[in-house]
Chains A and B, each alone.
Chain A
């Protein structure tokens, strides 16, 4: 079983695509690797693609929340993309609403959101021009 999820760097962003079944140690390793990499790469944004994940339980949910909080403290924005609808329904019923985690439907809109967050724009505000 895989013991590490690769983290790719693209400009000032880090990209993570979870392509394997997430066991608890793997989730913890990713959390640690990401925080180190944010500092080492002076990253401003972290995009985590979970479109392949067929299940997110409270442990994985907590890991995603931790990554979002830690990156915030390290001055980076985290966006989680691609959550499957069945996973989202189950998470809410589980009692886990992932507060503090920004999400987007796919990688493309996730990158746009990160860009807006880094550039200091309020993505919810109406365009002025």
Chain B
């Protein structure tokens, strides 16, 4: 599947999380996502960027615009950190489960707001979460 455009942003502070939202909004707009689709992907990005910052100790996000054939377009976001990793992904994906002081909606919510969701994590190595939203 061809990637049309790609870019990366660091996630090291609250301000970076805001910049990720803005960039994702901008790219979703360029793809002519509806307002609801834009809001969903921006919200998912915000949850995952916060996870990268708070649980992963910072990292980065890679944005990709995808095209499948001439009609189907999508936005893929990959959040990567070199943090402690997640020992039990299944539990981390459970709605309401949290190791911090949040609501435990980050991962489960981001999955619900995305068309595709993929997570890889290794204890002591880091975590990578990829979401795709198709138009």
Task: Sort chain A's interface into a size bin.
Answer: 20 to 34
Contact A94 B46, beta carbon cutoff 8 Å = no
Q: Is the interface of B mostly helix, strand, loop or mixed?
A: helix
Task: Sort chain B's interface into a size bin.
Answer: 20 to 34
Interface presence of A111 (CB below 8 A):
no
Chain B residues lying within 8 Å of A96, measured Cβ to Cβ, are 103, 105, 109
Closest Cβ neighbor of A61 among chain B residues: B103
Chain B residues lying within 8 Å of A58, measured Cβ to Cβ, are 47, 102-103, 105-106, 109
Contact A59 B39, beta carbon cutoff 8 Å = no
Task: Pick out which of these stretches binds chain A: B10-18, B58-66, B71-79, B85-93.
Answer: B10-18
Most buried by B among A26, A54, A87, A96: A54
| One of A24, A54, A56 near B50 (C-beta < 8 A) | A24
A1 to B43, CA, bound (A): 20
Closest Cβ neighbor of A24 among chain B residues: B14
A62 to B25, CA, bound (A): 22
Contact A94 B18, beta carbon cutoff 8 Å = no
Bitwise interface map of A from 55 to 89 toward B, beta carbon under 8 Å scored 1, else 0: 11111011000000000000000000000111101
| One of B17, B39, B95, B113 near A87 (C-beta < 8 A) | B39
| One of B14, B25, B102, B113 near A54 (C-beta < 8 A) | B25
Binding site for A on B (CB under 8 A): 14-15, 17-18, 21-22, 25, 35-36, 38-40, 42-43, 46-47, 50, 95, 102-103, 105-106, 108-109, 112-113
What are some 15 contacts across the A-B interface (CB < 8 A)?
Answer: A23-B15, A25-B14, A55-B42, A56-B43, A57-B50, A59-B50, A59-B102, A85-B36, A90-B113, A93-B112, A93-B113, A94-B105, A94-B109, A94-B112, A94-B113
